[in-house]
Amino acid sequence: MLEMRREVEKILKERDVPCLKLHGEYGALELSTALQRWPEIFSTLLSAEELQMSFDIAIYDMHVKEPLQPTFAIGVSKLFSLEVPGVAEKRPSVLRGDAVLVISKTGRFKAYVHRVQLDRVDLSFHQTFDNNPPFEVKFFFTRTPLKLMHRALADTSDRVHFVYSREPGQMPTAAPVAAPGLNEEQSRFVETVVRARRITRITLSAAERELNESLSGATSTARDRRLMKGGETLLYHQTDTTSAQRILESGRMFRGRTGALGGGIYFAKTPADTHRKAHHHGPILECLVKLGRIKEVTTTDSTITFTKLQSEGFDSVLYKGFPSGPEYVAYNFDQVKPVCIHGQHQQLVPSVLPLLLWGPPGTGKTTTPSVTTLVAAIHKVLQIPGAKVLATAPSNAAADLICEKLGAAGIVKMLRLNGMLRNEADVPPSVKPFTRRGQAGFDTFSIPSLEELQSFDIIVSTCTAAGYLASQARLPGWFTHVFVDEAAQALEPEVLIPISVAEAGALVVLAGDFKQLGPVIRSPEAAQRGLDTSLLERVVQHIGIDHRRVHTLLRSYRAHPSIMHIYNITMYGGMLQCSCPASSYDMTHWSRCSLGAVGTRHPVIFHHVCGSEARESTSPSWSNPDEVEVLRTYVQELSAMGVPATDVGIITPYQLQCKRLRLMCKTEQFPALVGTTEQFQGRENRIILISTVRSRQENEVPMDLKFALGFVGNEKRSNVALSRARSMLVLVGNLRLLSADSHWNKIIRLAAERGYCSGQPFELQRPWIIDGRASQTASGAEQELVSRPWLRLE
């Protein structure tokens, strides 16, 4: 593994891949430099991630001495079952469709994973497979998602500047109009989405299209041609010094109207006026930046200054002396004299400008019992004539939730686009009517034709499955609005896949909480350089939270105030406002709850256990039997109180501890939901029990705190775990060890001050420091065994 990591590091250095971690701005990396190299940088980081993934999945490679167990045949394929120790840990995951190479004395046979069941996988072979051991079995992951990300980087290379634009006034300000089931801040977001106007297309006659083709000539580039779609023309550029001459040679008299030239639309009163403006004042660089009316213009024309545009309005200034109306577009780019363009606008290109919805835990972004913010916005957008919506999320579960809620809201012309290899059994019954099945007898989904795809008002898919749309129809796409839910959990190139199939100027909405778990990155080198930072987080860090493009939901409807107070203070700066229902107080009668200053009880318990951690030789995971027994007592008390097992969730960072806790629940006949933090993101339960597992002895802690805490030391992971409960939160763990990390130190100190701590007595530690910085074990580097110089903070 060390050899592979050194090779990756060597490649990244040779290609001069910088760190994209944001510190204020881009640190030593200037924004303009980063944006120029954006596709190259991310393509290289994806390659580094692919190398790590190839190495990781090879842990399942094995030597098999016995014949494979046959199951049944499907068509021309044979299915065989193979036991794969450790596959249930999903570190890494083996997925349906992954390739497996089986080598024997009689030949080399390629199989595909048909199904994953606990510690076994079903493999699909061609009928020519000879089941004659011994076998050498090698596993390979599916590269399709990575290919789609590489393609999206290339397809959106001319849009990345606008993603990071700070220019004000590019989104309309919506009045906080109250809507049924929504509070003021939610209503404001919905109205902003709806009021954002789309780009108005200009349809040219056959004669005008012929003129465009004859005038554009060799000056048009591949990027320009992508902006053409049949008889419709969007922003299309031409060389300024030649366009004036072509206007004169065309012999057309404009007489105060627009003319279609070189594939672009150019405002002119007369040919002479056009020549004068082109020759002396430079081009009108950018107009119709956003969604249907001109919002931004760059020009060196002294009568059209940027300040004037801001103060008097884009429409009124630009259209003085020119034709008026939202259907007119002006675009003319000067390649010969770029120095004429104002420097502050040189980066503006036709592009997508995202609207961001930041939804901290319980604020009603997607999972409120009644109407949700995102679904309400989509539902209202679909009432706009001609609107075509693409709603995506990184996971199938999140995409299914969007589809389910939209279906319940009465949306009919909707397609839930699934990957062709998705298991039908994983699709919720309420979502199946919106799917398209594959061939009869095959457990697969199909991709409709382009004509059928364009007939739907809305398509719901995962971010990567949206790549099927790009394969069906090359750019530009036809979607007027693109929504990406849980955007903070997706890789930046992954989010670019749905953006790549949007029409030029489509409204893009990124929703999520960048304070919770981000994308899963396996390559430490790629993560260190910023691949683990989502597009949502990167944009917010760059433009700032108090920006017109960032809509923040502040009212939390989930948790009891005492529970919310913990993550509100430590992660959200105290900005959340508690609006929880009366049902969130239904556990305050439990005698275990701590008594407050005014006689109220707080349904929060931090139970200190100085237990013993353990791991199996065949697994990288950890367990803690002492914490299991403590949690057993809580489960027994809850069961005796008549609390249904369905109301309880048990969270732990490690799969081995999950296994121990499930066995405990089974013996107690209390089938509570047990899972890792990742499995609980996006969920909530009435009661949450947490086992942190790690419990090193005090003399071992200074040697390597990062290894001691592992996954537990990720502050985003801890935020997810602490924010899942509605009525009761119980955390069991070694609080002394946890307090050695600066983030956990704040949490435990706050809990101690409010009287939440119980169990064995303990003393808070001061945070340990590494290389002069307070410990922030911010990555789940469970297997990172590198020794580091530790120092106690005095």
pLDDT recorded at residue 475: 54
pLDDT recorded at residue 354: 76
Split at pLDDT 50, 70, 90, the class of 89 is low
Domain boundaries, the chain: 1-141, 147-197+356-553, 202-233+235-345, 561-792
Split at pLDDT 50, 70, 90, the class of 640 is very high
pLDDT recorded at residue 551: 83
Give 585-627 as a 3 state SS string. Answer: HCCCCCCCCEECCCCCEECEEEEECCCCCECCCCCCCCECHHH
Least confident of 68-72, 472-476, 768-772: 768-772
Residue type for position 448: P
Average pLDDT rounded to a whole number, residues 463-483: 83
Give 125-159 as a 3 state SS string. Answer: EECCCCCCCCEEEEEECCCHHHHHHHHHHHHCCCC
Q: Looking at domain 1-141, does it have CATH number 2.40.30.270?
A: yes
Pairwise CA distance, residues 409 & 180, whole Å: 13
Q: Looking at domain 147-197+356-553, does it have CATH number 3.10.20.310?
A: no
Least confident of 39-48, 364-373, 473-482, 776-785: 776-785
pLDDT recorded at residue 641: 96
Beta bridge pairs of residue 116: 121
Pairwise CA distance, residues 10 & 525, whole Å: 10
Q: Which one is predicted more confidently, 615 or 238?
A: 615
pLDDT recorded at residue 229: 31
Percent of the chain with pLDDT over 70: 62
Continuous segment of H or E residues that includes residue 538: helix 535-543
Phi-psi region of 512 (alpha: psi -120 to 50; beta: other; left: phi over 0): left
Q: Looking at domain 561-792, does it have CATH number 3.40.50.1370?
A: no
pLDDT recorded at residue 676: 87
Least confident of 84-98, 233-247, 629-643, 768-782: 233-247
**The residue to which tokens 């023309």 are assigned:** 233
Question: Strand order in 202-203's β-sheet?
Answer: 202-203, 232-233, 228-229
Examine the pLDDT at 769 and tell me if it is beyond 60: no
pLDDT recorded at residue 565: 95
pLDDT recorded at residue 15: 66
CA distances from 305 to 276, 298, 325, 345 (A): 18, 8, 21, 12
Residues 6+ positions from 629 with CB-CB distance below 8 Å: none
Split at pLDDT 50, 70, 90, the class of 425 is confident
Nearest one of 483, 477, 347 to 38, comparing CA atoms: 347
Split at pLDDT 50, 70, 90, the class of 248 is very low
Split at pLDDT 50, 70, 90, the class of 29 is very low
pLDDT recorded at residue 522: 86
Q: Which one is predicted more confidently, 15 or 162?
A: 15
Q: How many Cα neighbours within 13 Å face the side chain of 478? A: 19
**The residue to which tokens 């992508």 are assigned:** 226
pLDDT recorded at residue 17: 67
Least confident of 33-37, 100-104, 779-783: 779-783
Q: Which one is predicted more confidently, 288 or 355?
A: 355
Examine the pLDDT at 456 and tell me if it is beyond 50: yes
Pairwise CA distance, residues 787 & 96, whole Å: 38
Count other C-beta atoms under 10 Å from residue 545's C-beta. 12
pLDDT recorded at residue 650: 97
Nearest one of 198, 271, 202, 242 to 333, comparing CA atoms: 242
Examine the pLDDT at 767 and tell me if it is beyond 80: no
Pairwise CA distance, residues 139 & 103, whole Å: 12
The pairing of beta strand 648-651 with beta strand 685-691 = parallel
Pairwise CA distance, residues 472 & 484, whole Å: 20
Continuous segment of H or E residues that includes residue 195: helix 184-195
Q: Which one is predicted more confidently, 628 or 9?
A: 628
CB 663 within 8 A of CB 642: no
Examine the pLDDT at 746 and tell me if it is beyond 90: yes
User: Fold identical between 147-197+356-553 and 561-792?
Assistant: yes
3-state helix, strand, coil in the chain (%, to 5): 35, 20, 45
pLDDT recorded at residue 694: 85
Average pLDDT, the chain: 72
Split at pLDDT 50, 70, 90, the class of 778 is very low
pLDDT recorded at residue 66: 93
Least confident of 15-24, 224-233, 418-427, 438-447: 224-233
Examine the pLDDT at 554 and tell me if it is beyond 50: yes
SS3 80: strand
Examine the pLDDT at 578 and tell me if it is beyond 70: yes
Examine the pLDDT at 182 and tell me if it is beyond 90: no
Pairwise CA distance, residues 77 & 54, whole Å: 26
pLDDT recorded at residue 179: 56
CB 742 within 8 A of CB 774: yes
Split at pLDDT 50, 70, 90, the class of 721 is very high
Nearest one of 381, 345, 34, 359 to 170, comparing CA atoms: 345
Residue type for position 264: G
Pairwise CA distance, residues 365 & 487, whole Å: 12
Beta bridge pairs of residue 107: 104
For residue 406, count CB atoms less than 10 angstroms from its CB and return exposed for 0-12, middle for 13-18, buried for 19 or more. Answer: buried
Q: Which of 126-135, 282-291, 678-687 has the highest mean pLDDT?
A: 126-135
pLDDT recorded at residue 629: 97
pLDDT recorded at residue 8: 67
Examine the pLDDT at 670 and tell me if it is beyond 60: yes
For residue 117, count CB atoms less than 10 angstroms from its CB and return exposed for 0-12, middle for 13-18, buried for 19 or more. Answer: exposed
Least confident of 157-161, 318-322, 741-745: 318-322
Least confident of 258-262, 525-529, 684-688, 760-764: 258-262
pLDDT recorded at residue 470: 83
Split at pLDDT 50, 70, 90, the class of 710 is low
Measure the N-to-C terminal CA separation of the chain; round to a whole number of Å: 37
pLDDT recorded at residue 576: 92
Pairwise CA distance, residues 693 & 713, whole Å: 12
pLDDT tens digits for 198-215? 333 333 334 334 434 443
Examine the pLDDT at 628 and tell me if it is beyond 70: yes
CA distances from 6 to 536, 583, 643 (A): 30, 54, 53
Q: Which of 648-652, 701-705, 750-754 has the highest mean pLDDT?
A: 648-652
Pairwise CA distance, residues 215 & 220, whole Å: 10
pLDDT recorded at residue 421: 81
Split at pLDDT 50, 70, 90, the class of 794 is very low
Examine the pLDDT at 78 and tell me if it is beyond 80: yes
